Every structure is written in structure tokens, then in C-alpha cells.
Structure 1
Amino acid sequence: MAYLPRTVDHELDELLPTLAAISLDGPKGVGKTATAGRRASTVLAMDDAGQRQLIQADPDRLERESSPVLVDEWQRLPEVWDMVRRSVDRGAAPGSYLLTGSASPGEGATTHSGAGRIVQVRMRPLTFAERRVEAPTVSLGALLEGAQPDIGGSTTVGLADYTDEILASGLPGVRHLAGRARRAQLDGYLARIVDRDFPEQGHPVRRPRALRAWLTAYAAATSTTAKYSVILDASTAGDGDKPAKTTVIGYRDVLTQLWILDPVPGWVPSRNPFTRLQQSPKHHLADPALAARLLGATEGSLLDGSELGPSIPRDGTLLGALFESLVALSLRVAAQSAEATVHHLRTANGVHEVDFIVERADHRVLAIEVKLAASVEDRDVVHLTWLADQLGSDVVDRVVVTTGSEAYRRRDGIAVVPLALLGV
């Protein structure tokens, strides 16, 4: 397959010439090895037993190889992290090391944080813009600058296309497939998590069906702030033999280590008039296609509004939740490129909520709502207006992301942007 340039390429190109060691982290299959390998002179694969043994026998080998040295799947030999850290302490030159990891080290592994030596960069599945479905006309970075840029552009991408992209996946090795082959590949990806990745993290699964049921319930909770107790109850409906709370916490922790869970945290602002904000995260899997596959969703079931899988209370349809998850993926990659972070806002009483708060380093914010519709009415921007009234100039811009055909600014200054036209 031809290499699809990624947003993170620009980050690496900016960082690698000045930093001695960079770790590229993310779930399996997002393309970390391909992206890092394009910059490496030497590749050491730690999922290869022979290469692991070579490094264990001769740790100084890392410093003799031609740089940049890519240590792929470093978590399979956790001590290599400290080898790289010590090399940096000894004065390794900029651009010496790239590490890729599909998991944080498993239970029992002891490694230094690497703070100040190894800079960690997150890599996620392909965003909508990275999939080259449409040429974006609106820059998230420009919106964050706060100059209220002109908004324009049109697209023929519609609801059925977004539905196709949700199901197609942002995993490069999956999305070129179609039909049964794609479903089989996604099933295999999910089965590997249970059968291989959990044991490799030091957590053999005694009840695979219980883990799969919990993961399916989590998928049903996509784009909600459902409590973990609600997710557990939904995963064991009609089953009197529930997993222990400690077991479920173990599920959550390992899936987080594997970068499979990718929740959007509640916003904790540094300065504002709010007294009570809900801190519960909004639930998202790394790729909306994984959630769709766990729930058995198809194009037809999503478009006709069918509710699938365990019952989790939410506003709107399953397609709306998965579309918001696709937006979340796209925003997080673009925000990372702009050195910003993504959160959600919900008041403790639930009266006000904003789907996404993109926060700059100076704590000023871009407020974003998501609407699974082609048009935007006044009632759709009530929370954006409320937030601007509360925070004043700390809100640099306001946006509604839609499935429509036109990007424009409303008379109240709020930008309306189809997801297909939103880029970095």
C-alpha cells in the first residue's frame, strides 16, 4: 500500500532534528512502524526474539548502530527504554533514537519515566482529513489563533459517506479492505486484544466472554459519560455472575495501556466563573470502527437508527455517537499538531454541555459542538452562546461540526463546518 502522509509526520520532522529520543505511542495497526521507519537508518524489532536477545546480550549495540535507530515495539523488552535513556544522559546526538510502542509496559516492568530524555508523541488512527476523502478548507489551527478567519468551502460528502468511513476504520491495514474481509480483519484485531495482548501485559483472561461483553458495553457507551458501574451492569444484563470490581478495573487499565480506550477528559479550567463541572470522561475507543464492529453495526442499521448492543442511556442515535467519535479522533490529532488539548464540558447538573473544548497553552479555548445534520438552527448553538457569555474573550471561536455541504459563518459569528472540510 502507498504511504499516506500523516499529521504526525510534521511533528516528527520538527522534533527529530533537535531531540535525542522520541517515543511514538499508539494502538497496534495505526502505522507507527511505517511512519517512524521512513526516518530510521537502523530498525531493531523487539517483537523478534533474536533481536531482543542481541540487545540483551550487548546493550551498547544501540550506540554503535547508524542513527536514527528505530526500536520497534520497545515494550516487548522494557529495559531498552532505560538503555536509551542512559544513552541520552551520556550525550546522544539529536535524532539518535525513535521508539514505537503499542502498549505501556506490562505488570511487573520497571522503567524510568524518561522525563527530560525521551519525548512521547501520540499517534492515532487516520483522521477524516488524512483519509483524503475531501480537501479541507478550514484549519483548526487557524481557528485556534482567535482571529475569526473567513470560513468557506463546499463538499459533496454526505451522511452515507460518513457512515461508510466510520465502518471503514482509520487503521491503514484495514480500510483498504471491504465487506467480509474488513469485518474479519476487525474481528481478528479484537480477538487478539483478548487472546494475546492481555496475557502479554501480564493479565491472562480467565473469562474471555466477560471481557468481550464489557468491551461491547463500553462501545455502546461511545460519546457518553456513563458511569463505569452502568457499563458493567449493561455488560452483564441477565447474568448473575458479574465480574468483580477489581476485575473490571483491570480490564480498563490494560485496555488503556494498549491505547484501545481513548476517553476525552472533562475540562478542568484554570480560570472561570464555574463552580461545578462534571469530571467524568466521555467514552471513546481508539477507532469508531472498533465500536461499530463490537456492536454489529452495518451501514443499513446505522442509517435507519437501529439501536444495537447493550442498553446505555444517551442522547441521539448510535450513528450520532459514532460520528461524534470520528470528530473526536480528527480533533485530537489536529489539536496535538497545534499544541492544544481536547476536553468536553458538562455542568454537574447537566443543564449545559459542550461536546469539545480545545484548549490552547494559554488556557483560551475553541468551543465545538457536533451535529449529525446538514443544517444548524439557533437551538443548536445555545450552549456555545452560553459559554461565550460566561468566558468572554477566553473563547477564541465557536464551531458546529456537521454533515452538511457548506462551510460558513452564521450572523452570530459561529462557524458551521462539515467534518469533511475540517483540517489541521
Structure 2
Amino acid sequence: MGAAGVGETEIDLEGYVQEIVASGFPGIRSLPGRARRLRLDGYVQLVVEHEVVDEGMLRRQPAQLKSWMAAYAAATGSTATSTTIAQAASSGSDVPARSTTERYRDALTQLWLLDPVPAWHPGNDFARLSLSPKHFLADPALSARLLGLDEPRLLAGARTKMLGPQDRTALGALFEALVALSLQTYAQAAEAVVEHIRTSRRDHEIDFLLHRNDETNIAVEVKLTGAPDSSDVRHLLWLKEQLGEDLTDMVLIYTGSHAYQRQDGVAVMPLALLGP
């Protein structure tokens, strides 16, 4: 498991947006746009009206559960608290109880619809770290549908209220979700785990850290840009200062066309060239 490699791709931002909305579900992915959107909407309705009930996990409350799923989609890539998600799901009134939202989370996790990335906690004192997971649905296309976003709206920069830091955009969050899905798949093949790092004061954050028992550690930052600069790698370089030789590789994943190595050691790689 490593980050080496040079190369180029013809995949651009439009291609990544197409991949975000395409869905990874067999039987949905191959459908034309409108049919795919309808099938995804139907799947969400099936989940909230039948699957969680049929499995005996929740009493029938489809509207509230769907609202919570949409709020969770708005938290994609963030560490928003369960209270923040619940408040976003309630539009200011009738906020579901914590016990209810915990049942939502547990039920959807059992159905493999939630795929959160846990926080890394190494057990030493090199930094005070947050232990909150980053939120991801199992398929970025589901998040896009729950947020009412299709390919044209994403490419047009539709203003959608996202939970978390003020500067977050829906496209940035969903691109990170696409990266997360890829990393989880490749990490499983490499017998590695995917976690994230965020200091408790929020002054440093690493989007993903892949590691396995042979002490291979690869730090990954995700940027929705075709022209990254030094500010985009500052958290990676901070982590390198903390871990030294224990950090195997640093990778910046972006939307540009070329893979290359920066002088500071960071591998800059288009998502399309990422592999196990």
C-alpha cells in the first residue's frame, strides 16, 4: 500500500460529478439519468417505509426518518454532532429525541447505509484529538438525492445548506464522499483501515489516514481544486512533523489531470488515478 506514481487522466470535474450521481448500486448505475434518480428516490422510500420496520428496528415514522437522513446527508464529510443533525432534521420544531436518532443511526448502519469514518486515536500525547467520526452515507448518489442535487445543480454550484464549517459546499463534501468510498474499497483489499484526524481545537485536520498492522500510515487530504497550492498541504506537513518516519506517505487528492510529487514529499494525485 503506497502513494507512488505519476501519470495523467482525462477525467475532469464534470466527470467526477457524473460519478457522484451515478450510484454504485448494481441495477441503478446503468440506468439513464431520470430513471436512476427515480430509482434512488424509490429506494429511499423503501428504506424509510418498510426496511427498517420489517427488520423490527423502528416503529413506522417514515417522514421523520427521511428528514433525518437528509440532515445526515447535509453533514457529509463533517463531524457534526448528533444534536446538530437532529435540529437540522426538525426545521426548528419537534426535534427528535437523542434516543430516537440513535435508533435511526443504528438501524441504517445495520442496513449498510451509513459508512462513517472513525477518528484516529493513537494513544499518545502528540496532539489533543477529537474522537468524533466523520459522517458518510454508503453511496454519494444517495446523499445527492436526499439533498435534491443532480448533475446540473452540482456543476452550477447550487447553494445547499451543509452542516459543519461555514465554507463547506455540497460539491466539495460529495467529492470527499466519493474519495471516501474509493479509499474504503481499496483499504479493504489492502487489509488496512481508514480513519481521520482532527485536533480538538480544530486547528489541524487530516481528511483520511490509512494504516495497517505493518505500521504503514498514509495521510490523505482531499481538495476540490484543479490547481492545489502550499496552503492545501499544510495539514499533511504538520502531521509529518508530528509522526516523522512513522508517516509512510502524504497524498493530496484533487480534480486536476496530472499526478506528481511535490518537493516537500506530498504526492498530488487525481482521484481517477487512485488505486490499491
Please classify the TM superposition score into its range, dividing by the shorter chain length.
over 0.9
Q: Does 1:222 align with 2:76?
A: yes
**Equivalent of residue 266 in structure 1, options 116, 119, 124:** 119
* Whole-angstrom distance in 1 between the partners of 2:203 and 2:97: 34
Q: Which amino acid in structure 2 is aligned with residue 236 of structure 1? A: S
Kindly report structure 1 stretches of 4+ aligned residues shifted beyond 6 Å.
Answer: none
CA–CA separation in structure 2 for the residues paired with 1:379 and 1:242 = 39
Matches within 5 A, 1:137-152: 141-143=1-3, 149=4, 151-152=5-6
Tell me what 2:105 maps to. Answer: 252
CA contact (8 A) 1:269 1:363 kept: no
SS of 2:143's partner is helix
2:173 matched to 1:321?
A: yes
Which stretch shows the higher mean deviation, 411-420 or 192-201?
192-201
Matched, 1:196 2:56: no
The correspondence for 2:23, drawn from 141, 165, 169, is 169
Contact conserved, 1:273 with 1:390, CA < 8 A, in 2? Answer: no
The Cα shift of 1:331 comes to 0.5
Aligned residues: 275
Contact kept? 1:354, 1:367, Cα under 8 Å: yes
Partner Cα separation in structure 1 for residue 42 and residue 60 of structure 2: 19
Q: Which blocks of at least 5 consecutive residues in structure 2 are unaligned?
A: none
Larger Rg: 1
Superposed counterparts of 1:1-400, under 5 Å? 141-143=1-3, 149=4, 151-239=5-93, 241-270=94-123, 272-308=124-160, 311-314=162-165, 315-400=167-252
TM-score norm. by structure 1 comes to 0.63
Using the TM superposition, give the Cα deviation of residue 269 of structure 1 relative to its aligned residue in structure 2, in angstroms: 1.4
Contact kept in structure 1, 2:130 and 2:197, CA below 8 Å: yes
Answer yes or no: is the 8 Å Cα contact 2:49–2:61 preserved in 1: no
Structure 1: distance between partners of 2:111 and 2:172:
26
- Given that 1:194 and 1:205 are in contact with CA atoms closer than 8 Å, whether structure 2 keeps it comes out as no
Conserved in 2, the CA contact under 8 Å of 1:234 and 1:311?
no
- Deviation of 1:340 (Å): 0.7
The CA distance in 2 between the partners of 1:264 and 1:178, in whole Å, is: 31
Q: Measure the CA separation in 1 of the matches of 2:254 and 2:95.
A: 40
SS class of match (1:398): strand
Select between 228-237 and 201-210 the one with higher mean Cα deviation: 201-210
Shift of 1:275: 4.1
Residue matched to 2:266: 414
Q: Is the Cα–Cα contact under 8 Å of residues 250 and 267 in structure 2 kept in the other structure?
A: yes
SS at 1:361's partner residue? coil
Q: Secondary structure of 2:27's match?
A: helix
SS in 2 for 1:190: helix
User: Counterpart of 2:197 in 1: which secondary structure?
Assistant: strand
Match of 1:105 in 2: none
For residues 214 and 277 of structure 1, do their structure 2 counterparts lie closer, same or farther at Cα, with a shift above 3 Å needed?
same
Shift of 1:313: 2.9
- What is the rounded CA distance, in whole Å, between the counterparts of 1:298 and 1:346 in structure 2? 30
- Cα distance in 2 for residues equivalent to 1:258 and 1:210: 18
8 Å contact kept, 2:220–2:253: yes
Residues 286-332 of structure 1, C-alpha deviation per residue, up to 9 Å, x if partnerless? 00000000011022221222223x55233431100000000001001
- SS of residue paired to 2:248: strand
Letter of the structure 1 residue corresponding to residue 52 of structure 2: F
Q: Give the gaps of 5 or more residues in structure 1.
A: 1-140, 144-148
Name the SS for the 1:214 alignment partner. Answer: helix
DSSP-derived class of the 2:233 partner: helix
Matches of 1:335 and 1:197, distance apart in 2: 29
Q: Is the CA contact 1:216–1:294 (under 8 Å) kept in the aligned structure 2?
A: yes
Partner Cα separation in structure 1 for residue 54 and residue 121 of structure 2: 35
Task: Measure how far apart 1:375 and its partner are.
Answer: 1.6
Aligned AA (2:12): G
Question: C-alpha distance in 1, partners of 2:87/2:263?
Answer: 46
Three-state SS of the structure 1 residue aligned to 2:28 is helix
User: 1:336 offset after TM fit, Å?
Assistant: 1.1
TM-score, length-normalised on structure 2? 0.96
Deviation at 1:266, TM superposition (A): 0.5
Residues 347-400 of structure 1, C-alpha deviations (whole Å, 9 max, x = no match): 000000100000121344100000111122011110111100110000001000
Q: Do the aligned partners of 2:225 and 2:254 also contact (CA within 8 Å) in 1?
A: yes
